[in-house]
Structure 1
Amino acid sequence: MPRKTIDSPVGALTLTEADGAITSLSWGGEGADDTPLLRAAAEQLDDYFSNRRKVFDLPLEVRGSDAQARICAAIAAIPFGETRTYGDLARDLDLPAQAVGRGCGGNPIPILIPCHRVLGAQGLGGFSGGTGIETKIWLLRHEGAAGLLI
């Protein structure tokens, strides 16, 4: 599968493409492939980090269970600069909050599917990418997330 690694303010990010869609974004790694889709994804991420983009327009494919796909679709619908809680998504999806938490943690395409916008009922919650909670805080501050208590 083609992979491209880019530098970003939150560290090196590696994008993976399969069957015409982005299937993974991970921290670290190495990849130097240059397909049109990987190039577009890199450009859109650069625009996001440079405050020129708030919405990504890329084909994404979440490989996993139906519940994982539903959770990721709900996360993807959270607008730039806004947040939801695990409980909010659980109610919307008729799933336990713990399942939503696992789904967020299992999101294979963070940032593009903005799981950093999902918070715990009492605060930030966790984040599995980059340096963990520090990366989540950086992304939320970058977006000017309203009502964020940090």
Structure 2
Amino acid sequence: MDVNKIAELANIMKTNGLTLLDWTEGENRLVLEAAAHKAAPPQPVPAEVPVFAAVAPAPAAVEEPAAVEEPEQALDLYEQKTPLVGTVYLAPQTGAAPYVSVGDHIGAGETICIVESMKMFNQIAADCSGVVEEICVSNGQIVEYGQTLFRIRED
């Protein structure tokens, strides 16, 4: 293809405001693409000057509410925590029964959920045997390392 022909096609693009030209002549193919124009730099926006109002002084002493104490029965429960960061699944697959439910008796080493981490499905086994008193996460929830999954009343 002749250099003069290419220059002529580029001129046609510019004159007609074209951004792309695909030209085939015999066995030769030429694709011309116009460079994107840079946008004008943003104009500065005048900043608003903040207005400060006088604020009344805080009361000298604010009494803190008493800490809420957990029931005694929750204190003696074993907290099964996740060893991984990931997504927790309480059932082996969608629509299946969950591994455990509140009130179920589980044995140490029994699979109680799955945590998907880095596209790996990791079965989480119970650290102790006992009765599941509380499920602290929901199916599909993202969990952090060390987050409590279940509370178990040990045998």
State the structure with more CA Rg. 2
More strand by share: 2
* Common fold by TM > 0.5: no
TM-score (norm 2): 0.20
Greater fraction of residues in helix: 1
